[in-house]
Chains A and B, each alone.
Chain A
Amino acid sequence: QVQLVQSGAEVKKPGASVKVSCRASGYAFTQFGINWVRQARGQGLEWVGWVSGDNGSTYYAQRLQGRVALTTDPSTNTAYMELRSLTSDDTAVYFCARLLRAGWILYFDSWGQGTLVTVSS
């Protein structure tokens, strides 16, 4: 079955960077894109960005453009999200999710368990 397993919780100081991993199994990694979504405590879901599983193409949320980088390593079926110049506003649980395409319809059918990133001095 499809599984996305994320790396563990991180605590970072303001101004630092964080890199979260998402290891996929149970499907052909290069045939599906991976999205990242974050959720601050008690808040809703915020889409962070998308990375292609085959050629590494990316698309980022406008408000995070310039600070976020999404990459993949097909040799290990792993996607990565790096967020730079962290502030307390970046404290959130970060989820990865597989993007499934059914014809022209797109949706997130499988999700990782989430990784808590805490930014604190």
Chain B
Amino acid sequence: DIQMTQSPYSLSASIGDSVTITCRAGHNIGNYLNWYQQKPGKAPALLIYAASTLQSGVPSRFSGSGSGTDFTLTISSLQAEDFATYYCQQSYITAYTFGQGTRLEIK
């Protein structure tokens, strides 16, 4: 399996701030990297696929970048609804492993 490591584990920020979450793959995965957002009690929701392609309906303040082993998710101008947990996921091989998650909290 390919191990996915996110940092930080948790993050505090204020509305209007910009934040960046990092995801590192234990193997070169090209751009086979997806990002999901999960709110308490809800299923995850796709934000970004192929490292940088925004899913339809996702606000443009979300952006993703990277390739190979290092990836980032950036949220600019945080809104109240963005406070949630974020997961990266590799789809390079069929054991579609997730990062451990980054919890974004309101400061």
Residues of A near any B CB (own CB < 8 A): 35, 37, 44-47, 50, 59, 61-62, 95, 97, 102, 104-109, 111-114
Contacts and interface: CB of A to CB of B under 8 A. Distances in A.
A44 B101 contact: yes
Given A44-B87, A105-B50, A106-B32, A113 B99 contact: no
Which of A50, A95, A104, A113 has the most chain B CB within a 10 Å cutoff?
A104
Chain B binding surface, main DSSP class:
loop
B8 interface: no
The number of chain B residues touching the other chain, given as a range, is 20 to 34
Interface of B: 1, 31-32, 34, 36, 38, 43-46, 49-50, 53, 55, 87, 89, 91, 94-101
A89 B81 CA distance: 32
A72 B86 CA distance: 30
B97 A107 contact: no
Contact of A50 (B46, B87, B96): B96
Given A59-B95, A113-B43, A105 B32 contact: yes
